[in-house]
Structure 1
Amino acid sequence: MVPHVGLETQPSLEDIVLLKPDLIVASRFRHQRIAPLLEQISPVLMLEEVFEFKRTLAMMGAAMLRQQQAILLDQWQQRVTALRSQLQEKFAGRWPITVSVLDIREDHIRSYLPASFAGSVLTELGFAWTPTAREATGVSLKLSSKESLPVVDADLFFIFQRADSKAAQQNYDKLVRHPFWQQLRAAQDGQVWRVDAVAWSLSGGILGANRMLDEIARVAMADSHS
């Protein structure tokens, strides 16, 4: 069992002290302000971007004097190469198809971009992005109205609900009934895939990335889904 040491945005220094860690791994974005306090407890490895999971894995392996990360990265590359070939075979002359990653929230929709964790995995697999996604900066776009749906129009959608709430589900139910939604290519072709929110938007590590590959593999093995 992994001990709980508070929130990601507000870790409990008292609980961390009790663990007597040999190394503390932290996010510069989240924990820069408390870095001096963390350094009084143990050496600190600050990660610039937690979503760059391959770099994170390599850095942690080096800091902990472990080499398993090289094996994990080799296994990852083998999985990516195999799945990319399966996708190319499935979509044939249409490959690379365009993709959008949509997070259905209670009062709006988030479209994740190539710079996001999920986006980096999809790009490595060879998926293409919509013009809007390619030109945008940051990790996501906020769509405040259903009228904005055409900007995420793609051949395939991966969709999740980050908030497991009745309001988010109601927003999704309204979304799929909206005329603009029904005109989108992915909806018309049955290429709308529900995926795990934790793996796709909250994990940022090698385990989450492999979980993503598991779910993307369903696309390669099925005819259609909605």
Structure 2
Amino acid sequence: MAQQESVETTRVIHHSMGETKITGTPQRIVTLFQGATDTAVALGVIPVGVVESWVNKPVYPYLRDALKNTDIVGLETQPNLERLVALKPDLIIASKFRHETLYQQLSAIAPVIFLEEIFDFKQTLELMGLALNQEQTADDLLADWNRRTEHFRQVLSSRDNMDWPIEVSLLNFRADHLRLLSRNSFSGLILSELGFEHSSFADTNGWIYKKLISKEALPTVNADTFFVFLRSENPAVDENYDNWRNHPLWKTLKASRSGQIYKVDEIVWSLSGGIIGANMILDDLFRIYDVQPLTE
């Protein structure tokens, strides 16, 4: 859990690689994973440097306006340290999962905050709120999220015509295989918080996704509802999706029989990783399930 040990002058931020002292409000931050970039923008802090997006490069479309003057500092898996040095950052936000081996090198450039989990957007929001001296903004964003999720749960669980909770599978189609995402993925964590259940195979703490090659594995994804995301930049993905859903086993699955299959944006549901992306997933779910938004 993040802690703040002083209010105005120097804050000691406890994170997954130790502790970092930050004085004042950082002005030149660099974010080294997608969820941190999303979170910085949500907090009203525009990074001077970010890593390249996984798809729709160099930056996801929903962040392009905010990041139009931001430099790209390499890949999330391999940030360019020379570019980092040139930007003269006063804070770097990194991921233990991606950047643990770079700890000493990054720390020599600027103070660094390491996040334990790249998909835990609430932890990212809390820790970055502390580090960036934006605690109140982070608290407000989280409070708004909690109000919206509670409203969604109450509406769906009270519907007489709905068998709640709904069992779901998150299906990410690639050009040559299918990935079943678990409850530990970004959208998996969000759906769990909302009260959805995961198909038994995906209800695990052991992995983020399973790569399925053979269509004979289709029974493992069986669930009431499918949320399907396709990598639209590649036409081969659409062809692969058609091949899977035209297989006889696909037609036996509960979601296929009931028609409860929803295509959603892969960037938002799988790659965004922050509070903005989380709210966009919630927007999709409000629309899919015809939940009226909260009124002020």
Q: TM tier, shorter chain?
A: over 0.9
Residue in 1 aligned with 2:71?
A: 3
Q: CA deviation at 1:18?
A: 2.2
Residue in 2 aligned with 1:164?
A: 233
Q: CA deviation at 1:219?
A: 2.1
User: Is 2:114 the partner of 1:46?
Assistant: yes
Choose which of 80, 88, 93 in structure 2 pairs with 1:20: 88
Label 1:64 to 1:135 Cα distance change in 2 as closer, same or farther (>3 A): closer
Task: Give the secondary-structure state (helix, strand or coil) at the position aligned to 1:158.
Answer: strand
Identity rate of aligned residues, in percent? 45
User: Which has the larger strand fraction?
Assistant: 2
Q: CA deviation at 1:91?
A: 6.6
Residue in 2 aligned with 1:58?
A: 126
Matches of 1:114 and 1:90, distance apart in 2: 24
Choose which of 134, 144, 154 in structure 2 pairs with 1:75: 144
Q: CA deviation at 1:62?
A: 0.7
Matches of 2:79 and 2:205, distance apart in 1: 32
**Structure 1: gaps (5+ residues):** none
Residue in 1 aligned with 2:198?
A: 129
Q: CA deviation at 1:3?
A: 1.6
Residue in 2 aligned with 1:216?
A: 285
Matches of 1:92 and 1:120, distance apart in 2: 26
User: Could you tell me whether the CA contact under 8 Å between 1:104 and 1:171 is conserved in 2?
Assistant: yes
Q: CA deviation at 1:92?
A: 4.3
User: Which has the larger helix fraction?
Assistant: 1
Task: Give the secondary-structure state (helix, strand or coil) at the position aligned to 1:7.
Answer: coil
User: Is 2:218 the partner of 1:149?
Assistant: yes
User: Could you tell me whether the CA contact under 8 Å between 1:103 and 1:161 is conserved in 2?
Assistant: yes
**In the alignment, residue 139 of structure 1 is paired with which amino acid?**
I
Choose which of 176, 195, 213 in structure 2 pairs with 1:107: 176
Label 1:123 to 1:92 Cα distance change in 2 as closer, same or farther (>3 A): farther
Choose which of 84, 92, 103 in structure 2 pairs with 1:35: 103
Q: Deviating runs (4+, > 3 A) in structure 1?
A: 89-93
Matches of 1:91 and 1:181, distance apart in 2: 29
Task: Give the secondary-structure state (helix, strand or coil) at the position aligned to 2:152.
Answer: helix
TM-score by length of 2: 0.71
- For residues 184-220 of structure 1, the C-alpha deviation after alignment (integer angstroms, 9 at most, x for no partner) is 1111111100011011111111111111111112221
Label 1:217 to 1:93 Cα distance change in 2 as closer, same or farther (>3 A): closer
Q: CA deviation at 1:54?
A: 0.2
User: Could you tell me whether the CA contact under 8 Å between 1:111 and 1:143 is conserved in 2?
Assistant: yes
Summarize the alignment of residues 82-101 of structure 1 with structure 2, pairs less than 5 Å apart: 82-90=151-159, 92=161, 94-101=163-170
**In the alignment, residue 189 of structure 1 is paired with which amino acid?**
S
TM-score by length of 1: 0.93
